[in-house]
Structure 1
Amino acid sequence: MQHVMDIAQNGNKPARIPSENSPDKTAGLWLDERIAKSKFGVVSEVIDLTPAMARVMLARNPGNRKLSSIIVENYARDMANGAWAFNGEPIIISNDGKLNDGQHRCEAVLASNTAIRVVLIIGPDRESRLTVDQGKTRMTGDYLGMNGHVDSVALAAAAKFVWQHVNHSFITQTQAFRPTKMEVLSFVEDHPSVAESLAAIPSKGSDAVGGRAILAFAHWTFTRVSGKPEAVSMFMDALIKGSNLVPRSPILYARNRLMSERGRLKPNEKAELIIRAWNASRRGDKVSNLPIKGGALPTVER
């Protein structure tokens, strides 16, 4: 029966690969030594995964799954921002020296030019790579819930929309512009008012006029810009309930269109329509149309 051989020398302190004139050659020799030791039992060690070591591992990566450039970009952004956490998830090298699991992290280390702390496991059979990542993927809402936030799935969606608007001036489902899980967690912690805006949006009636996440985004944005929470509450209440709305009211127009085109409007289009209704309402305009132009969202007026 294989035994686990833990060769870390300093407790939880990561092992540092010795440097020579050629970092890649040094990393390769260092890794070869561990692979040789794994013939006698699985080797487990905490290391600093440097760009040199990542290059060596990726050079020994035949037949792995297709690389996702979006995942690499997201990982690299977290690494560069200091938001990458050591969680014990290992980089796995097979007993014949091939990379079984960890190619996206290795690519992200190269992209960010940042070393990260990882557990390195060397010695499982090559075919065992077919059994990794079998558990349910934890979503951003799961992480928010684990951090004590209530209504965490809706909060994750609302925070994503707010983050996108703050950083890109529009909101989208396109993967390339979505925040990482750590960016959402950090944003929620730094902006508790996002959770407060979500709590201000009732579940009843909100789905018909854009959904709670979009409405929470609008509530947060309008409150931040206008500084008038009472006016924001009145606007959102009228949009959701449709109470006391007169003909040519911009809120009535937005409400009717959101309801009639429910399921067809994209998140950015819903947000644009609601912002245009807010702006027209603040000006006291009467409208028969509020155009949706796409692209960057309109500037929110006070």
Structure 2
Amino acid sequence: MNTATATATARKVKTPKWASDLGLDFSAYRPQVITVNREVAMALLALNTSNRQLSRTNVNTMVRQIEGGKYNTRTSNAIGISTEGALTDGQHRLNAIVETGVTMDLIIVTGCDKMAVLIPNAKPRSFSEYLRQHEISYATILAPMVKTLWMVDGPGARSADGKFQPSWDYGRSMNHITDAEFLDYLAANPIFQDYAKLGSALYSRIGKGLPARFLGAFCYFVDHHTDENGKRDREEFFDRLADGVGLEKGSPILAMRDVLAKRMEDGSDKFAVMQGKFIKAWNAYREGKKVTTLKFNPGGHHPDEMPAVK
């Protein structure tokens, strides 16, 4: 027996009785489907001696999914236990089971190498990759557009007391929202796909100065959250933004055309600046105000607040 094998063998621990009763053997590298209730989850968590720090955000997300009947256990992601009897993967799922009291069947792999957690695993699929995998058109536009609409039209646009408070501020984190939740939101609103197509068309028409995801989300918001003239005004706004026909000095559309031209020329303005200027141009157009220069500063000591779409 070589030194490495001897060291590994020496580190193995005896499988405790509760685990043996479930059919687990910590010394054997073996995947099994085990029914995990609150008591089993607590016993497994007692093995959590050297894992990474627990993320309450991840646990809360899983609790929300479990309680909503949205948590999918038919996955290749397993609960891991090393030959030393330490939990290597699954602490967030197990904590969620403890908190909800829901019993579920999970894959548990025993005999894991505890150092394997340091080896990079396969890159997780992005939301857009998932949509492409399911052959959904305009997936690369639709995926970020759905996330934008989540904040201006969906659950993210509602305050704790239920008030409608849409936010175009891309600085707000959505890391606690799962792709499954975004997918449910898209499934409930299939019309989003039409606006992703519209966003793609407008992106080409106005000179590619603003991303298609924003243009699609903006059009949906205007069509569904402004007054009865919103859609008509939106169509006229983009027509003139594209061709410049009949625009005179002081037209906010003309001012926005200048911004887009400069963006195409030197790429100076970042997206947040472009978005702020665009919304200000739209609002001025809707209010009949004259504008010659569009300014928006989202940074610094006195940043401008992202305007609401009128």
Instruction: Work out the CA distance in 2 between the residues paired with 1:151 and 1:280.
Output: 31
Instruction: Work out the CA distance in 1 between the residues paired with 2:47 and 2:145.
Output: 41
Partner of 1:10: none
Q: Secondary structure at the match of 2:48?
A: coil
Is the CA contact 2:29–2:111 (under 8 Å) kept in the aligned structure 1?
Answer: no
Is the CA contact 1:214–1:270 (under 8 Å) kept in the aligned structure 2?
Answer: no
Note closer, same or farther for the CA distance 1:198–1:95 as it changes in structure 2 (3 Å cut): same
Note closer, same or farther for the CA distance 1:74–1:242 as it changes in structure 2 (3 Å cut): farther
| Aligned partner letter, 2:72 | A
TM-score normalised according to structure 1 size: 0.73
Instruction: Work out the CA distance in 1 between the residues paired with 2:217 and 2:80.
Output: 41
Is the CA contact 1:61–1:99 (under 8 Å) kept in the aligned structure 2?
Answer: yes
Q: Secondary structure at the match of 1:204?
A: helix
Is the CA contact 2:25–2:111 (under 8 Å) kept in the aligned structure 1?
Answer: no
**1:269-280 equivalent positions in 2, closer than 5 A:** 269-280=273-284
**1:1-302 equivalent positions in 2, closer than 5 A:** 30-31=18-19, 33-34=21-22, 37-39=25-27, 42=30, 44-50=32-38, 52-88=39-75, 89-109=77-97, 113=100, 115=102, 117-127=104-114, 129-130=116-117, 134-166=121-153, 167-168=156-157, 169-170=166-167, 171-176=169-174, 179-201=177-199, 202=201, 203-204=203-204, 208-226=208-226, 227=228, 228-240=230-242, 242-257=244-259, 260=262, 262=267, 264-267=269-272, 269-290=273-294, 292=296, 294-295=304-305, 297-298=307-308, 300-301=309-310
Is the CA contact 1:44–1:120 (under 8 Å) kept in the aligned structure 2?
Answer: yes
Note closer, same or farther for the CA distance 1:153–1:142 as it changes in structure 2 (3 Å cut): same
Moved more, 283-292 or 161-170: 283-292
Note closer, same or farther for the CA distance 1:41–1:77 as it changes in structure 2 (3 Å cut): closer
Instruction: Work out the CA distance in 1 between the residues paired with 2:259 and 2:57.
Output: 34
TM-score normalised according to structure 2 size: 0.71
Q: Secondary structure at the match of 1:159?
A: helix
Q: Which runs of 5+ in 2 are unaligned?
A: 1-15, 158-165, 297-302
Q: In angstroms, what is the RMSD of aligned CA positions? A: 3.4
Is the CA contact 2:26–2:84 (under 8 Å) kept in the aligned structure 1?
Answer: no
Is the CA contact 2:145–2:213 (under 8 Å) kept in the aligned structure 1?
Answer: yes
Instruction: Work out the CA distance in 1 between the residues paired with 2:220 and 2:113.
Output: 50
TM-aligned CA deviation for residue 141 of structure 1: 0.7
TM-aligned CA deviation for residue 279 of structure 1: 2.4
Q: Secondary structure at the match of 1:83?
A: coil
Is the CA contact 2:51–2:88 (under 8 Å) kept in the aligned structure 1?
Answer: yes
TM-aligned CA deviation for residue 241 of structure 1: 5.2
Q: Secondary structure at the match of 2:104?
A: strand
Is the CA contact 1:206–1:215 (under 8 Å) kept in the aligned structure 2?
Answer: no
Note closer, same or farther for the CA distance 1:233–1:58 as it changes in structure 2 (3 Å cut): farther
Instruction: Work out the CA distance in 2 between the residues paired with 1:182 and 1:234.
Output: 37
Residues 208-232 of structure 1: per-residue CA shift (max 9 Å, x gap): 4321111111111011124553432
- State the aligned residue count: 270
Identical residues among aligned pairs (%): 22
TM-aligned CA deviation for residue 127 of structure 1: 3.2
TM-aligned CA deviation for residue 145 of structure 1: 2.2
Instruction: Work out the CA distance in 1 between the residues paired with 2:85 and 2:113.
Output: 9
